[in-house]
A and B are shown apart, each in its own frame.
Chain A
C-alpha cells in the first residue's frame, strides 16, 4: 500500500526565515515518483518538483530545495528566506506504477505554511 505522511499540519514563520516541510512516504514498489505541489487560496495545485525513485540527488531551484533520502523514506522541502508569497498549503505526493492500470497520486494531508511579514 502507498501512503504519504505530512506530520506538520500548520507552520508559521517570520519572513526571511528558512522553513522545512517534512514528507515521509511508504511504498513497496521499487519504481515510484515523488512530487511536491503548492496550493494557494485560488485552489489550483501548482507543480513544484517531481523525482523518481532512482534519483536521490538533492535539487535546488532558487529559494527552494529538496532532500530525498530513500534510507529514511523522506522527501523534505526547504524554503530559504521565506516570503509572504510562499504562504500556501503544500502537498507531498507519491505515484507508483501499477501494471495494467497506470499511476495515481497518493497525497499527504498537506502542510499549511503562513509567512508573517
Chain B
C-alpha cells in the first residue's frame, strides 16, 4: 500500500512569507503528527491531529498551525517565516496514537527561508 506522501519535497521562501505543507497519510490511518528537524534542535514535535481534531501540541509559536481534513490529509501552515524556520518538516501517520500503534514517516518537506 502507498506510504506517507508529503508535498512539496523542497521549498524556498522569503522571510515574512507564509507557507503551507501537505501530508497524505497511509490509507486508514487517522492520526497525523508533524515534526521539525533542524541540525541544532534535532527532531521536535509540532502537533498531532486525529479525526480532524488537534489532540496534542508542542512548544512552538502560534505562527505554526495545522489542520486535518475528513480524509485524514493534513496541512501545516507557517506564517511570517523567519530564517530559523528553515528545516526538514516530517509528518508521521499512524492508526491511532503514535506509539500505541506503529508510526510511519514521509520523506519530508525541506523548507529553506532566505
Contact = CB atoms under 8 A, between A and B. Distances in A.
Interface residues of A, number: 26
Interface of B: 31, 33, 35, 42-43, 45, 48, 50, 55-56, 58, 88, 90, 92, 97-100, 102-108, 110
A105 interface: yes
Given A50-B102, A105-B43, 10 more contacts: A35-B103, A43-B88, A43-B110, A44-B106, A44-B108, A103-B56, A103-B98, A104-B58, A105-B35, A110-B42
The 6 A-B pairs at the shortest CB distance, nearest first, are namely A95-B99, A103-B99, A45-B105, A103-B97, A107-B43, A33-B99
A98 interface: yes
Nearest to A106: B45
Interface of A: 32-33, 35, 37, 42-47, 50, 91, 95-98, 101-110
